[in-house]
Amino acid sequence: MRASAVLQATWQRTRRPRTWGAALLFGLVWNGTRGLMGLPWPSLAETLAPLLWVALFLVLAPLPWQWTGDERPTAGTLRGAAQALPWMAALTLGVLLLLGSAGGPLTPGRGPGPGATMMERGGPHRGLGPRREEPGRIPIHPRFWVLGVAHLCFGLLLGWVLADRERAEFQEAAYRRVADEAQARVLQGQMNPHVLFNAISGLTELVREDPAAAETALVNLSDLLRTLLDHGSRLRAPLGDERRLVERHLALERLRLGHRLRETWDWPEALDEVEVPPLMIQPLVENALKHGVAMALGGGALAVKVAREDGRICVRVANTGPAPTAGEGQGLGLRNLRERLRLLGAPADALRLQREGDWTVAELRLEVKA
């Protein structure tokens, strides 16, 4: 991973409940064992110290194994160990100093206890004056070095295990993302013949009633097909491409519906460069025309509004006409759209279809990604 990805992964570990759950469990076991052994009840600092050092190890131990400087999720064994050794040595030293400052058995001057031999206490002492430390000696209990080596080995092993586990999770998420993208492409491919089928079925009336209009409609149909093939082959596309697709679709519908279709637009051109998944707005417009405007004897109104709110693209497609039935709300176009939204990780309420007075309103909210 690169440095930014490593820092992000480290930050994510601090937010995982299992990290603090494991640290809390260890702290409870540690202090419970002290109580069962009959040791004096520890102070607040001594109680929290084991929890804190386990939390530090769980969060920081995988960091040197994950830093590679490229897109690989973990470093190789030799490079990872070379990076982890000095890092864990510094972390181990800090943790042991933390335990010592908390009043643990590593604090200088406490000594090993009343059962120690004369040599362990520093040898015989004569005289009544204060004892002086011999020059060149470090007043640190030998247990400091034993625990230091144990902590270092534990940290190296723990970091490798956690980094390898997160690598597996990273790869699993990548495979799942690829599978979802492939399924989304299949669903987008289903939309192309669906749109063309509805457009052609609407032109059959024009061939008998107005051959000249039917000829113009075939030209528009060719443009619609060309736009579909280009627009529907991508996972993300500029919002301006979606606008052109909707305009070509409406050009066909105007030839068929004539003055029965009354449309209004509120779509700022400044949003045309924003990239969103393709074929998200066209199914809403098609559904409004097919089940609303076209079903009314005198036609109806269509209102399309696109805006940007709180980092989201908000789409509102409203139409007059008869209220949709339960079956109409589950047609192929809307069912396909809901499934693609689910694969893209959108919330369940990203698409809402509701009735507001004489209007049937479809609201869609899309996340904008950089």
pLDDT in tens, 140-182: 556 667 767 877 888 888 888 888 888 888 888 877 777 776 6
HSE-up of residue 106 (Cα within 13 Å, Cβ side) = 18
What lies within 8 Å, CB to CB, of 171 at 6+ separation is 73
Q: Residue 88 and residue 82: Cα distance in Å, rounded?
A: 10
Average pLDDT over residues 51-74: 84
Lowest-confidence pick of 100-109, 162-171, 185-194, 253-262: 100-109
Show the tokens assigned to 270. 């400044």
Question: What class has domain 210-367?
Answer: alpha beta
Position 195 pLDDT exceeds 50: yes
Average pLDDT over residues 112-138: 44
- Given this model, what pLDDT does residue 125 score? 46
Query: Please, what is the end-to-end C-alpha distance for the chain in angstroms?
Result: 20
User: Tokens 């601090």 — which residue?
Assistant: 14
CB 290 within 8 A of CB 324: no
User: Tokens 């000249």 — which residue?
Assistant: 212
Categorize the per-residue pLDDT at 108 as very low, low, confident or very high, splitting at 50, 70 and 90: very low
Q: CATH 3.30.565.10 region(s) of the chain?
A: 210-367
Q: Within its chain, how far is the Cα of 72 from the centroid?
A: 19
Which tens digit of pLDDT belongs to each residue from 305-350? Answer: 999 988 899 999 999 988 877 655 566 778 888 888 888 888 888 9
- Given this model, what pLDDT does residue 351 score? 93
The three-class DSSP label of residue 319 is strand
Neighbours of 344 (CB within 10 A): 18
Phi and psi at 321, nearest 5°, equal 120, -175
Categorize the per-residue pLDDT at 205 as very low, low, confident or very high, splitting at 50, 70 and 90: low
User: Tokens 């929890």 — which residue?
Assistant: 51
Average pLDDT over residues 132-139: 46
Supply the pTM of this predicted model. Answer: 0.55
Give percent of the chain with pLDDT exceeding 70. Answer: 76
Categorize the per-residue pLDDT at 51 as very low, low, confident or very high, splitting at 50, 70 and 90: confident
Q: Residue 324 and residue 362: Cα distance in Å, rounded?
A: 11
Q: For residue 328, what are the CA distances in angstroms to 258, 287, 358?
A: 24, 9, 17
Lowest-confidence pick of 26-30, 190-194, 295-299: 190-194
